[in-house]
Amino acid sequence: MWAFINKLRSPKWFYAISAKLQPLFWVAATLLLGVGTVWGLAFAPEDYQQGNSFRIIYVHVPAAFLAQSIFVSMAVSGLVFMVWKIKVADMAATVMAPLGAAMTFVALFSGAVWGVPTWGTWWMWDARLTSMLILLFLYLGVIALRGAFSSRDSGSRAASVLAMVGVINIPIIKYSVDWWYTLHQPATFTITGRAAMTMDMWAPLLMMVVGFYCFFIALTLTRTRSEILRREANKRWVRELAEEAN
Partner 1 sequence: MQRSHAQLSTSAVAMHAPQGGLLVAIKATLKRDLTLMLRRRGEVLNPLVFFALVITLFPIGISPDPELLSAIAPGLLWVAALLAALLSLDSLFRSDYDDGSLEQLLLAPQPLAALGLAKVSVHWLLTGLPLALMAPLLGIMLSLPAGSYAVLAISLALGTASLSLIGAIGAALTVGLARGGVLLSLLVLPLYIPVLIFGAGAVQAAIFGEGIAAHLAILGALLALALMLAPWAIAASLRISING
Partner 2 sequence: MSLCLQARQLACERDDRWLFEGLDLDIQSGEIVRIEGPNGSGKTTLLKILSGQLTDYRGELYWNGEPMRQTREHFLANLLYLGHAPGVKAGLSPLENLAWYQALSGEEGSESAREAALAGVGLSGFEDIPAGQLSAGQQRRVALARLTLTQRALWVLDEPFTAIDRQGVAALEAQLVAHAQSGGCVIVTTHHALTESPVLRRIQLG
**For residue 37, which of 63, 17, 56 has the smallest C-alpha distance?**
56
Q: Which is nearer to partner 2, 9 or 223 (CB)?
A: 9
Q: How many residues does the chain have?
A: 246
Interface with partner 1 by CB under 8 A: which residues?
A: 82, 134, 137-138, 140-141, 144-145, 148-151, 153-154, 157-158, 161-162, 164-166, 168-169, 172-173, 175-177, 179-180, 183
CA gap 203, 193 in Å, rounded: 18
Nearer to partner 1, 49 or 169 (CB): 169
Find the shortest distance in angstroms from Cβ 155 to partner 2: 10
Facing residues of 51 across strands?
47
Of 118 and 156, nearer to partner 2 (C-beta) is: 156
Residue 234's binding partner among partner 1, partner 2, none (Cβ under 5 to 8 angstroms by kind) is partner 2
Q: How far is the CB of 157 from partner 2 (least distance, A)?
A: 8
- Give the closest residue to 15 by CA, choosing from 213, 212, 240, 216: 240
Smallest distance, Å, CB 25 to partner 2?
29
112 binds, among partner 1, partner 2, none (CB under 5 to 8 A by kind): none
Please state the closest distance from residue 237 (CB atom) to partner 1, in A. Answer: 28
Distance of closest approach, residue 180 Cβ to partner 1, in angstroms: 5
Select 84 or 149, whichever has its Cβ closest to partner 1.
149
Q: Contact residues for partner 2 (CB under 8 A)?
A: 85, 151-153, 231-232, 234
Distances (CA, A) of 184 to 73, 156, 176: 33, 40, 13
Distance CA 191, CA 241 (A): 49
- Alpha-carbon span 151 to 166, nearest angstrom: 22
Phi first, then psi, for residue 196 (nearest 5°) are -55, 140
Nearer to partner 1, 72 or 165 (CB): 165
Q: Please say whether the dihedral angle defined by the alpha carbons of residues 178, 183, 184 and 187, taken in this order, is positive or negative.
A: positive
